[in-house]
Structure 1
């Protein structure tokens, strides 16, 4: 593996006043690239202290799903945020199954952590959003004792019926028409309160959709995660938005499913927030995540 320059190159994206709205945060990161199929997997890291905190984004997403969470933890943790294979800036995986993708993520994570002050073999906390929650369960199961805790954030893969939502097609649109479609999709699936939908969220949604080359929906709609959770001997927690579109009306089923596996697990519900809870309610989400994480 080769490490990129310590001054990271911001990933390209829709311009806002001449630069993507995430350019400043990207420029503060250390970027790494690790093997992924025929290409590379992209990693962004902030901070150097404490146990590494690994954040896995959702389907059709990128590290940008965590843009409002990273600053809350970078001062106290090494925050490690990859683009999952087939999404964002990372190459497609050689096989589409979650076990293969998790192995690629874990191998890359070990390299990235090995080059940090924590050093090779350092234990890490991992949190996953939506599809990233299901994948985080596989990563934690493969990592064994190297994982300290797992936090599921609006996670898929639990075998719970996911609400069907008709989304606007964006790939054949441009300009104002594409912008309107992205806004509509965010309100239908990701964000509950229209007042919380801003230009940055739209820009992130647009960049993510342009770079998504892997369809994670079969994993998110499946029931593979409980088997992985039963293998774990580490703290597990759940954080969901109260108005999560994916499971609206079924949040009690989510909690019951998780507590059937781990009765004592913390389960936090962030009031009035939608599926993309870390973006829509960043302060409340950061408090909830800090409460359930193992001490750094």
Structure 2
């Protein structure tokens, strides 16, 4: 394993905050310092993940002057399971409570990746005051894919050596377009995350629940996807019009070349620019 030192170093630079969740806490990791005029930047990770889904982006965002808050979502990483439920809708109440405890009436800029994007849409549909703007990254549940575009291999029943092969296959099937990126950091992070997933029976990602939620999200919204996202494949071309049909204040739709679903890991520099541009555009929209 090659990731222990860099991941430990990055985690060691973070502040740790907690908010109530079920029988325990939601754990929040915080980098950078608050700047005048800039709201907290909250990043929500994907399914079977943790804060490490953003490991290649944190330093760039802090260098750009943002205070970055990343929870381990309830049921993942170091956070306790939500008090009830096993899907994104079960995360809305503990996240809303946590954001209010941490920031009071101050809205954040909210960014959600994959399952975290779907969760963010559900959250703002119910609690629109919590965010100034929303950026969705590789989000599912937009209702444009007629059938699942991939199948993952089960791994929990396998001996350890075969488990690693299943994880490697799953990373290539869903997360990464470039097979050269699978071994090393990505594989280490993926294995460390999936073994701590206590929410394995999720189903909402295969519905249109995000599209239905976005119709109730009034703040500026921007979408960013890898052009080769395995959730959509050839249906990626239908996605922009799907967003435009349901989103009251859609500010932009960005496709990043040479990237799959885990776009912020696969193309961190292009993603950084796309995200910072989206956040700046949303802020200008609100100012003028």
Specify if TM > 0.5. Answer: yes
2:27 paired residue number: 42
| Higher percent of residues as helix | 2
Which consecutive segments of 4 or more residues in structure 1 shift more than 6 A? Answer: none
User: How far apart, CA to CA, are the structure 1 residues paired with 2:114 and 2:202?
Assistant: 10
1:5 paired residue number: none
* Structure 1 residue runs without a partner (length 5+): 1-14, 114-119
Alignment of 1:92-241 (within 5 A): 92-96=81-85, 98-113=88-103, 120-161=104-145, 163-215=148-200, 217-241=202-226
Residue among 18, 24, 35 paired with 1:33: 18
The 3 A distance-change label for structure 1 pair 249 and 41 is same
Question: Root-mean-square deviation (CA), in Å?
Answer: 2.0
Q: Does 1:72 find its partner at 2:60?
A: yes
Contact kept? 1:106, 1:139, Cα under 8 Å: yes
The 3 A distance-change label for structure 1 pair 32 and 264 is closer
Output one character per residue of 1:224-254: Cα deviation in whole Å (capped at 9) or x when no partner: 1122211122100100001001100001221
Contact kept? 1:21, 1:200, Cα under 8 Å: no
Q: Does 1:61 find its partner at 2:49?
A: yes
Moved more, 196-205 or 155-164: 155-164
1:243 paired residue number: 228
SS in 2 for 1:167: coil
TM-score by length of 1: 0.86
TM-score by length of 2: 0.89
User: How far apart, CA to CA, are the structure 2 residues paired with 1:173 and 1:107?
Assistant: 39
2:73 paired residue number: 84
2:258 paired residue number: 272
The structural deviation recorded for 1:160 is 2.7
* Structure 2 residue runs without a partner (length 5+): none
User: How far apart, CA to CA, are the structure 1 residues paired with 2:193 and 2:250?
Assistant: 36
